[in-house]
């Protein structure tokens, strides 16, 4: 496989048509090596328009959210949160580490939380191999409360949730942005929340997509009759 041609095709045939036109984002996709963040057995699929399982058991990977999101979804999330060089970023759901690697190229610092210990370890190794030094990988449950004094300019949930976690909104700086995929399969919306002031938030849901669930975030009650 011609890796560079496949990367070019991914950008031009999948990502640009999905309204990702930010020149900086497109440049990042060309220089951050997506294939280096794929499991070795899946590298031939690195540039395909699909979610890539991070476990040998592909059904389990989809069920537990342990996948790389499709390239166009990652790119459009990155474009919309508009990371700045001074931003401190929190990601929930490290997975392969690819999204954190993209965020780190634009941010001052990225903290990424991964519930699966083996994935956290693999991500650390990938960041080291790629020479990315401004990412901290935390092995933990991203659905659990954060320290009260932690504040971030950007929060990205790399997976879906039933609703925007209100507890995370309290950790946004004024002007901060949260990105999540919200809803129930098969209807989910990319959701972007901006902190416009003290406990004031503006929400937009500009496009539809679907993604596997992040673990342990609340689900709505389901009644059976």
Looking at the DSSP assignment, which residues form a beta bridge with residue 207?
190
Q: Domain 3-208's class?
A: alpha beta
- 224: pLDDT confidence band, cut at 50, 70 and 90? low
| pLDDT digit string, tens, across residues 89-145 | 999 999 999 999 999 999 999 999 999 999 999 999 999 999 999 999 999 999 999
When pLDDT is averaged across residues 66-84 and rounded to a whole number, the result is 96
- Cα separation, 193 vs 46, in Å, equals 30
What pLDDT score does 60 carry? 61
Give the mean model confidence (pLDDT) for residues 1-9: 93
Pair 156, 90: CB distance under 8 Å: yes
Three-class SS of residue 208? Answer: strand
The half-sphere exposure of 132 on its side-chain side, counting CA atoms within 13 A, is 30
Q: What is the pLDDT of residues 33-47, one digit of tens each?
A: 999 999 999 999 999
* Mean pLDDT (the chain, rounded): 94
- If you search the block for the tokens 């991914």, which residue do you land on? 10
pLDDT the model gives residue 220 = 82
More confident residue, 182 or 60: 182
Instruction: Please give the share of the chain, as a percent, with pLDDT higher than 70.
Output: 93
- Residue 65: the pLDDT is 66
The rounded distance, in Å, linking the Cα atoms of 9 and 20 is 14
- Peptide bond just before 186 cis, omega within 30 deg: yes
Domain range list for the chain: 3-208
CA dist., res. 108 & res. 184, Å (int): 34
pLDDT on residue 57? 66
What pLDDT, on the 0 to 100 scale, is given for residue 117?
96
For residue 198, what pLDDT band results from cuts at 50, 70 and 90? Answer: confident
pLDDT at 197: 82
């Amino acid at each position: 496989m011609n890796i560079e041609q496949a990367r070019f095709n991914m950008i031009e045939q999948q990502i640009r048509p999905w309204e990702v036109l930010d020149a900086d984002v497109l440049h990042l996709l060309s220089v951050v090596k997506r294939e280096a963040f794929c499991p070795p057995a899946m590298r031939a699929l690195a540039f395909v328009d699909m979610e890539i399982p991070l476990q040998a058991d592909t059904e389990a990977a989809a069920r537990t959210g342990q996948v790389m999101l499709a390239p166009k979804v990652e790119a459009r999330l990155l474009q919309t949160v508009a990371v700045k060089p001074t931003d401190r970023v929190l990601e929930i759901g490290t997975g392969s580490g690819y999204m954190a690697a993209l965020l780190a190229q634009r941010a001052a610092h990225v903290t990424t939380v991964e519930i699966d210990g083996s994935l956290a370890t693999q991500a650390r190794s990938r960041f080291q191999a790629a020479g990315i030094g401004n990412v901290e990988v935390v092995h933990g449950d991203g659905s659990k409360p954060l320290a009260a004094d932690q504040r971030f300019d950007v929060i990205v949930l790399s997976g879906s949730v039933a609703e925007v976690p209100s507890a995370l909104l309290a950790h946004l700086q004024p002007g901060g942005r949260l990105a999540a995929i919200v809803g129930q399969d098969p209807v989910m919306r990319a959701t972007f929340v901006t902190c416009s002031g003290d406990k004031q938030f503006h929400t937009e849901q500009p496009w539809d997509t679907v993604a596997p669930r992040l673990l342990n975030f609340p689900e709505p009650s389901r009644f059976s009759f």
